[in-house]
Structure formats: C-alpha cells, structure tokens
C-alpha cells in the first residue's frame, strides 16, 4: 500500500472538529477507497485546552497555523479558520508555497484572493481544493470543474444561503414578518447575532463569484456584483407572489449576455411549479444551464459541520487518490493565468420580467397615470391588479403589475416617473422574475 497521506487541520471549530471526527470514524472505509491511510498528524486552533469532542492527542499541536503549513510532516493543509485575511490567507499561501496541497472551505478567502492563490498552486504543481466553499455539502465545484467538459455554460443560479432561504420559507408557510423570522432563526442558530452578511446578500455574492469564474473562465470579480438583500420583503410581496403563481427566493445569478456577464444577487420570483421553488428551509440548490446538457439542478445541505465536512473529506480523498508526478487540473477549470478579465454587463441592461407593487392614493386618474408611465417606457404588461390595502376601503389601494420581458432601465424610469407623479403613499417594491424550469 502507498504511504499514508498526512493531514494538518488548521481550525477546529464547527467544520474542523467534524472533519477530524469523520476522518477517525471512517478511517477504514477511506483507506479502502483511497488505497492508502489518511491520518491527521498536525492540528492548530487558538485554544489548546478546549474539548473538541474528538481525540486529537496523537496529532502535533501548533498555536501558529502558518508554522504548521510549512512543516515537512504534512502532505495536505486543511484551512478551516475562516476570514479573507489574517491567519487563513497567510497559512494557505505559506502551505502552497511550501508545496503542500491545500483544502479549504473559505469562500471569503477565495472570493478575494482565489486567483492569486490558484497561480501559486499551479506553479508549484499542487492542488487547491475548495468544494465546501460553495453550497456546503453539494458537490457543485466537482460537477462544474470535472463533469461538464465541453459544455458551455449560459447561466448558473442558486439558493446559496441557508439563512435567507429559511427566513423566506417560514415567512411564506406561517405568514409571519421578516423580523419575527429573523429572531427565530437567531434563536435556533440558523442566523448569526449580526445577520447583515447573510441577509444583505454578501455571503451569496462570495459564493456566486466563484461559480461565475468556473462557469465562464473569468477572473473572480466579487466586488462587481449587483446586490440586494431580503430585509425589505414583506408579507404583501409573499402573498402577491403566491397569487400570481410565484415564490420568492434569494438567488445568486450569473448569466452570459451580449454585453458581458451579469452577476446579481437579489430576491427573485420563480414559478411555484419550478424545481428550485421546491427547495425549502436551510437547503441550498444550484442550477447550471449549458448548451449540451440543458439544465441541471443540484440540491442539498449547504452548511453545518457534518455536511461541510463531507465536502472537505471528498477533497482530501481526491488528493489521497492522486499519484506523485500526476499533472493536476487547474483550480478554476482553466489555468489561472489564462482566466479572462471579467466583463461586467450593466445591470440597467438586464432583461426579464418584473413584479411591481405600488401603494397609491385611491383617487381618480392614478391607474391611468401608472399605465401611461409604463407605455411611455415601452413596458408591456402581463397583468395589472388593484385592490384595497388591508380592508382600508377609502384612502389607499395596492396596484400590482407584472411585466412581460423588459429592461431594468425601463422599469427604473417608469417607477421613478410614477414616484414623481406623487401618487404613491409608500416606497415602491420591484422584484425581478427569473425564468426557471
């Protein structure tokens, strides 16, 4: 049998401790699958005294993950610390430069420094594997990097944040407000004490930027993503969506267009009958659309110690199965030096259907004025419905418009016009409609 693969784990929190535990519990199975033993020889975290729920006493302890990254006694450095700078970045860089394979679950690090790190890995002829960084346990990186050769991706989109999907699912199922759902999510441990990063779309954007690079062979451009979170989605939107045959999901979407690549994260209406609309709670899903394959949808657990550990261990096993001298495939599907610059498609040229919900004064001429603003901007309407606001028969009305395909620029101009006309009693709500099978 080949020599054992020696693993060093930096970070023994939620994911790191799960990885150590599964490597111990499934040692015999992994040996059979990989043709060699996989053993943890070194570990690093901040607090050596903390009980990790797994016996790590046989591994050498390091206070400094950068030091551990460079020792000769490991073949693979597994980074599970988190953060886009500091010890995570320094240790991954040091490990790659020292010729160690690296496995990481760190989307923030890859979104910011992925291409630079890939260049080092490819120069040193080692692997940089990151399956767990996007959609947790779902093997989407492997699928895009290895199983779709020859396919040209036209669009990739997904539910990439379990916290947002949990909140939207409960808002719809139980008719409760965003704030009440968020509080519950925090109590149950599905949302952080400071939830901004998740609910405003940043986490989804990090993951999307990695998928965009794999899909279109472009350099990662995490700062060039149009982003709207879910904090202003109300029960009125959820009910109206349901009446119209839609469900609201926070999607990350990357799409090739004539003018470049769109990268956008926003609440989206998807047809209730579509497969992605059936993805509930903390579950994640990624849809990939290509010229040869058509549409593929992968769904499963997007977070949690064990699910994430499953992806990390899959990455470690790939390294265990690779043989010395074997030429590894490039980190983002194409050699890092050949990744093209990201050409951004302007959001204002985005084409699609739109849902527009307006709360207006109930007076003569308002309906006609709205219809005129739409017509002036060449927006054709699929439906227009008006009804009283919460039984307040007199003062205000809700007008709900669904457009046929139009552009973002046209919708913004029309809604600005309606706002200037002075008929609105509340902020207008605009939600994009996404085509989904």
> Interface residues with ligand NAP (CB under 6 A)?
10-16, 44-47, 50, 65, 80-82, 87, 105-107, 132, 136, 303-304, 308
Q: Smallest gap, in angstroms, from Cβ of residue 426 to ligand NAP?
A: 37
Q: Which residue's C-beta sits nearest to ligand NAP? A: 13
Q: Are the C-beta atoms of 255 and 261 separated by less than 8 Å?
A: yes
Q: Smallest gap, in angstroms, from Cβ of residue 108 to ligand NAP?
A: 6
Q: Smallest gap, in angstroms, from Cβ of residue 209 to ligand NAP?
A: 14
Q: Are the C-beta atoms of 412 and 373 separated by less than 8 Å?
A: no
- From the list 386, 339, 397, the residue with the least C-alpha distance to 363 is 397
Which residue, 44 or 398, has its beta carbon nearer to ligand NAP? 44
Which residue, 271 or 304, has its beta carbon nearer to ligand NAP? 304
DSSP state of 166: H
Q: Smallest gap, in angstroms, from Cβ of residue 353 to ligand NAP?
A: 33
Which residue, 248 or 265, has its beta carbon nearer to ligand NAP? 265
Which residue, 59 or 356, has its beta carbon nearer to ligand NAP? 59
Q: Smallest gap, in angstroms, from Cβ of residue 424 to ligand NAP?
A: 41
Q: Are the C-beta atoms of 54 and 31 separated by less than 8 Å?
A: no
Q: Cα 231 vs. chain centroid, distance in angstroms?
A: 17
CA–CA distance, 59 with 37 (Å, rounded to integer): 15
Which residue, 127 or 311, has its beta carbon nearer to ligand NAP? 311
DSSP state of 218: B
Burial of 427 (0-12, 13-18, 19+ CB in 10 A): exposed
Q: Known catalytic residue: 321?
A: no
Q: Name the token pair of 403.
A: 């457009």
Q: Are the C-beta atoms of 131 and 314 separated by less than 8 Å?
A: yes
Concatenating the DSSP letter of every residue in 342-373 gives P-BPPGGG-EEEEEEEEEEE--TTHHHHHHHH
CA–CA distance, 275 with 271 (Å, rounded to integer): 9
Which residue, 160 or 270, has its beta carbon nearer to ligand NAP? 160
Burial of 350 (0-12, 13-18, 19+ CB in 10 A): buried
Q: Which of 107, 112, 207, 249 is the catalytic position?
A: 207
Q: Smallest gap, in angstroms, from Cβ of residue 286 to ligand NAP?
A: 14
Q: Which active-site residues does the annotation give?
A: 207
């Amino acid at each position: 049998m080949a020599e054992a693969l020696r693993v060093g784990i930096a970070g023994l929190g939620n994911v790191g401790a799960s990885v150590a535990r599964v490597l111990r519990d499934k040692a015999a199975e992994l040996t059979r699958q990989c043709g060699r033993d996989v053993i943890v020889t070194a570990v690093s975290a901040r607090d050596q005294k903390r009980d990790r729920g797994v016996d790590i006493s046989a591994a050498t302890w390091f206070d400094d993950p950068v030091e551990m990254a460079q020792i000769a006694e490991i073949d693979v450095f597994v980074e599970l610390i988190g953060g886009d700078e500091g010890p995570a970045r320094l240790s991954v860089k040091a490990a790659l430069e020292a010729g160690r394979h690296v496995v990481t679950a760190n989307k923030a690090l890859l979104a910011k420094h992925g291409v630079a790190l890939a260049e080092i890995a490819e120069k040193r002829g080692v692997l940089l594997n990151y399956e767990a960084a996007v959609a947790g346990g779902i093997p989407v990186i492997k699928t895009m990097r290895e199983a779709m050769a020859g396919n040209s991706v036209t669009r990739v989109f997904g539910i990439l944040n379990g916290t947002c999907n949990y909140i939207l699912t409960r808002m719809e199922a139980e008719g409760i407000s965003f704030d009440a759902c968020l509080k519950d999510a925090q109590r149950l441990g599905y949302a952080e004490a400071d939830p901004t990063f998740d609910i405003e779309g940043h986490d989804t954007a990090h993951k999307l930027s990695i998928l965009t690079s794999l899909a279109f062979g472009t350099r990662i451009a995490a700062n060039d993503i149009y982003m709207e979170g879910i904090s202003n989605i109300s029960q009125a939107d959820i009910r109206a969506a349901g009446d119209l045959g839609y469900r609201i999901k926070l999607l990350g979407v990357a799409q090739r267009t004539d003018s470049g690549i769109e990268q956008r994260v926003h609440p989206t209406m998807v047809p209730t009958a579509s497969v992605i609309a059936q993805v509930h709670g903390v579950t994640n899903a990624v849809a990939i659309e290509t010229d040869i394959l058509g549409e593929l949808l992968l769904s499963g657990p997007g977070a949690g110690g064990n699910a994430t550990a499953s992806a990390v261990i899959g990455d470690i096993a790939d390294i265990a199965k690779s043989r010395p001298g074997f030429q590894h495939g490039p980190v983002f599907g194409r050699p890092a030096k050949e990744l093209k610059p990201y050409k951004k498609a302007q959001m204002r040229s985005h084409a699609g259907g739109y849902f527009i919900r307006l709360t207006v004064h109930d007076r003569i001429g308002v309906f006609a004025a709205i219809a005129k603003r739409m017509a002036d901007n060449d927006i054709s309407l699929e439906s227009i419905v008006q009804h009283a606001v919460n039984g307040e028969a007199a003062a205000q009305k809700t007008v709900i418009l669904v457009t046929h395909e139009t552009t973002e620029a046209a919708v913004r101009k029309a809604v600005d016009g309606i706002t200037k006309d002075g008929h609105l009693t509340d902020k207008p709500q605009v939600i994009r409609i996404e085509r989904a099978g």
